[in-house]
Structure 1
Amino acid sequence: MIFRQLFDHVSGTYTYLLASRPGGEALIIDPVLEKVDRYLQLFDELDVKLVKAVDTHLHADHVTGLGALRDRTHCITVMGEQTKADVVSMRVADGDRIDIEGLSLEALFTPGHTDDSYSFLLEGRVFTGDTLLIRGTGRTDFQNGDPRAQYHSIFDRLLKLPDETLVYPAHDYKGDTVSTIGEERLFNPRLKVRSVDEYVDLMNNLNLPNPKMMDVAVPANMRVGFHQDEIARKGWAAQAAEALALFGRPDIAIVDLREKREREKQGIIPGSLHAPYPDLRESIGPGGALHELAAAGKTILFYCAFGERSAMAVQAAQDAGFKSARHIAGGFDAWKKENGAVAP
C-alpha cells in the first residue's frame, strides 16, 4: 500500500494520501487548499490517479482543498451526510464504506468537535480528524460542538478499537505524527476523566481563543462553489420536475453515475443505466456504451446523488461531442423530493 502523511505548517494540518499500488487509484484525506499543487505533483511522482478527496469535518483553521482538487482532477468529493458544505458529491453515513481500487475505508460518525465529524477506519489504522488527537481531543465550543457527544464518540466508538490500532489525527501542534488507541487510553490527559459529566466540565472550561482563520475558513468551506451553477448557465441542467417529464421517453437514456453501494442503499430511478463516474471517460469514449447510445440518437441524462458528479459528467460528455447531454440538477436527492419513481 502507498501511504503518505503530509503536513501544513501554517494550520498544523495532517493530510493523508492512500493508494493500493503504483498506477492505481488514490484517495486523499483532509487536503489543504494552499498545498494542492504539491499534492498534484505527488500524484504524478507516485503514479497514482486521485479519485476521491475526503474531509473528516468542516474545518475552521484552513480552507479545504476539496474544491480545487475536484476542479483539477475531476475527483469525487466526500464528507459525512450531516455536513453543510456544498462541495460534497458523495455523502456517507455511519457504517458506509469509501472504496477505491484495492482499499476500503469504513466511515465512523464521531460527532462532538463539530456536528459533522467523521473518522475513517482502514486496516489497523484510524483517521480521527479532530475528534481524537495525540494526547488531546478536539475542542467542542463552536460549529455545533458538543462535549457530551464527543465523549461518546471517543469512549464508545474509538476506544473500542483494538489497542494496536494506529491513530492518525487531522492536526498536531507538538510534532507528534502517530499514536495508537492503547497509548491514548493510557496517556491522553483528556481521557483520564471518571464520567461523561467530568469530561463535559473539562471541555467547557478550556477557554481557548478561536482559530486564527475561523472567520475566513468556515464560510469558505461551507460554500466552496457549486459546480452545478456553471452547468445550469450553459443550459445543460434539467430540474427534477423537467426530468420527470422526460422519464420513460424512448429517446432519453437516464444514466446513474453512483457507485454500487450507493445504489443498493438509496435505490435507483427505474430503468436507468449504470455507468459509475470513475469509468466515465471509458464510457463516453469511442466504443464505450454511452458513446454508442449517443451515436444512436439517444439524449444522455446523467444523475448522481446530489448533482455534483453529474455536472462534471455532462461537461465531459459535451466536450466529447454529446451536444444533447444534460444532467438532473440536485441529483437523485432532488428526484425523490419531486416524488419521482424509485426502484430498489
Structure 2
Amino acid sequence: MIFRQLFDSVSGTYSYILASRSGGEAVIIDPVLEKVDRYCQLLRELDLRLVKAVDTHLHADHVTGLGALRDRTHCVTIMGEQTKADVVAMRVGEGDKIAIEGIGLEVMYTPGHTDDSYSFLMGDRVFTGDTLLIRGTGRTDFQNGDARQQYESIFNRLLRLPDDTLVYPAHDYKGDTVSTIGEERRYNPRLQVGSVDDYVALMASLKLPNPKMMDVAVPANMRVGLHQEELAKQGLSLSAREAIECLGRPDVLLVDLRETSERAKHGTLSGALHAPYPGIGDNLEPGGMLREVAAATGRRIVFFCAYGERSAMAVQTAQAAGLANTAHIEGGLDAWKKAGGPVVQ
C-alpha cells in the first residue's frame, strides 16, 4: 500500500494520500488549497490517479483543496451528509464506505467538534479529523460543536476500536505525527475525566481564541461546488423539471454516474443506464459503450449523479471527446426528488 502523510505548517494540517498500488487509484483526505501543486506533483511521481478527495469536516483554519483538486484531476469530492458546503459530488453517512481500487474507508459519524465531523476507518488505522487529536481533542465552541456529542463520539465510538489502531488526526501543533487508540486512552489529558459532565465542563473552560483564518476559511469552504450554471448557459443542462418531462422519451438516454452503493441507498431513475463516473473517459472514447450507443441510436445522453458535480464533469469530458449531443441534470437526483420526480428503488 502507498501511504503518504503531508503537512501544512501554516495551519498545522495533516493531509493523507492513500493508494493500494503504484499506477492505481488514489484518495486524499483533508487537502489544503495552498498545497495542491505539491499533491499533484507527488501523484505524478508515484504514478497515481486521484479519484476521490475527502474532507473530514468543514474546516475553519484553512481553505480546502477539494475544489482545486476536482478542477485539476476531475476527482470526486466527498464530505459528510450534514455538510453546509454548497455542492460536493458525494455525501456519505454512518456505515457507508468510501471505496477506490484496493482500498475501503469505513465511514464513522463522529460529531462534536462540528456537526459534520466524520472519521474514516481503514483496517489498522483511523483518520479522526479534529474529533480526536494526539493528546488533545477538537474544540467544541463553534460551527454547531457540542461537547456532549464529542464525548459520545470519542468514548463510545473511537475508543472502542482496538488499542493498537493507529490514530491519524487532521491537525497537530506539537510535532507528533501518529498515535494509537490505547495511547490516547491512557495519556490524553482531556480523556482523563470521570463523566460526560466533567468533559463538558473541561471543554467549556478552555476559552480559546477563534482560528485566525476562520472568517475567510469557513465561507470559502462552504462554496466549493462546480459552477454548473456555466453549462446551463451553453444549453448543456436540464433543470429537474425539464428532465422529468423527458422521462420515457425514446430520443433521450439517461445515464446514472453514481456508485452501486448510492443507487441502492437512494434509488435511481426509470430506464437509466448505469455507467459509474470513474470509467467515464473510457466510455466516451472511440469503442466505448456510451459513444457506441450514442452513435448507433442517435439518442441524446443526459447524465445525472447525486448533486450534479459528476454529471457536469461528464458533460465536459464528452465535449472534449467530440460528443456534442449530451447534457446533464442540474442539481442531480437531489434536485429531481425535490421537484417531485419519480424514483425507482
The TM-score, its normalising length taken from structure 1, stands at 0.99
Relative to 1, partners in 2 of residues 1:272 and 1:225: Cα closer, same or farther, differing over 3 Å? closer
**TM alignment of 1:31-110, pairs within 5 A:** 31-110=31-110
Q: Secondary structure at the match of 2:232?
A: helix
1:3-62 Cα deviation digits (max 9, x unpaired): 000000000000000000001000000000000000000001101100000000000000
* Per-residue deviation, 1:229: 2.3
Distance in structure 2 (CA, Å) of the matches to 1:289 and 1:26? 25
d(CA) in 1 for partners of 2:87, 2:111: 20
Distance 2:330 2:225 in 1: 15
**Worse-superposed segment, 25-34 or 315-324:** 315-324
Query: What's the CA shift string for 1:182-217, capped at 9, x where partnerless?
Result: 000000000011111110111111001110100000
Task: Point out the more displaced range, 314-323 or 133-142.
Answer: 314-323
Amino acid in the other structure paired with 2:200: V
Q: Which amino acid aligns with 1:290?
A: L
Cα distance in 1 for residues equivalent to 2:191 and 2:212: 27
Structure 1, 293-302 or 273-282: larger mean CA deviation: 293-302
Unmatched segments (≥5 aa) in structure 2: none
> What SS does structure 2 have at the residue aligned with 1:208?
coil
**Whole-angstrom distance in 2 between the partners of 1:16 and 1:115:** 22
The aligned residue for residue 190 of structure 2 is: 190
Q: How far did 1:225 drift?
A: 4.0
The yes-or-no answer on 1:325 pairing with 2:319 is no
The aligned counterpart of 1:20 is 20
Residue 86 of structure 1: how far off its partner (Å): 2.0
For 1:87 and 1:37, the matched residues in 2 are separated by: 23
Deviations 1:80-99 (A, max 9, x none): 00001124100000010000
Matches within 5 A, 1:298-317: 298-317=299-318
TM-score for both structures, normalised by structure 2: 0.99
What is the rounded CA distance, in whole Å, between the counterparts of 2:316 and 2:84 in structure 1?
25
Establish whether residue 244 from structure 1 lines up as the match of residue 217 from structure 2: no
**Percent identical:** 73
Q: Structure 2 CA distance, aligned partners of 1:323 and 1:276? A: 20
CA contact (8 A) 1:227 1:312 kept: no
One-letter code aligned to 1:316:
T
Question: How many residues are paired up?
Answer: 344
Cross-structure match for 2:160: 160
- CA-to-aligned-CA distance 1:313-341 (integer Å, 9 cap, x gap): 11111222221200001101111112212
Determine if contact 2:225/2:309 at 8 Å carries over to the other structure: no
How many angstroms apart in 1 are the aligned matches of 2:334 and 2:238? 14
Q: Classify the secondary structure of the residue corresponding to 2:228.
A: helix
Q: What is the rounded CA distance, in whole Å, between the counterparts of 1:280 and 1:44 in structure 2? A: 21
| Distance in 1 between residues matched to 2:231 and 2:200, nearest whole Å | 46
Partner of 1:260: 260
TM-align CA RMSD:
0.8
Say if 1:109 and 1:117, in contact at 8 Å, map to a contact too: yes
For 1:327, give the aligned amino acid: H
CA contact 2:25–2:101 (8 Å) conserved in 1: yes
In 1, the alpha carbon distance for the partners of 2:254 and 2:121 equals 34
| Structure 2 letter corresponding to 1:308 | E
**Other-structure match for 1:284:** 284
Matched residues in 2 for 1:194 and 1:10: separation? 35
Q: Please say if residues 52 and 78 of structure 1, whose CA atoms lie closer than 8 Å, have aligned partners that are also in contact.
A: yes
d(CA) in 2 for partners of 1:226, 1:46: 27
Contact 2:88 2:224 in 1 (8 A): no
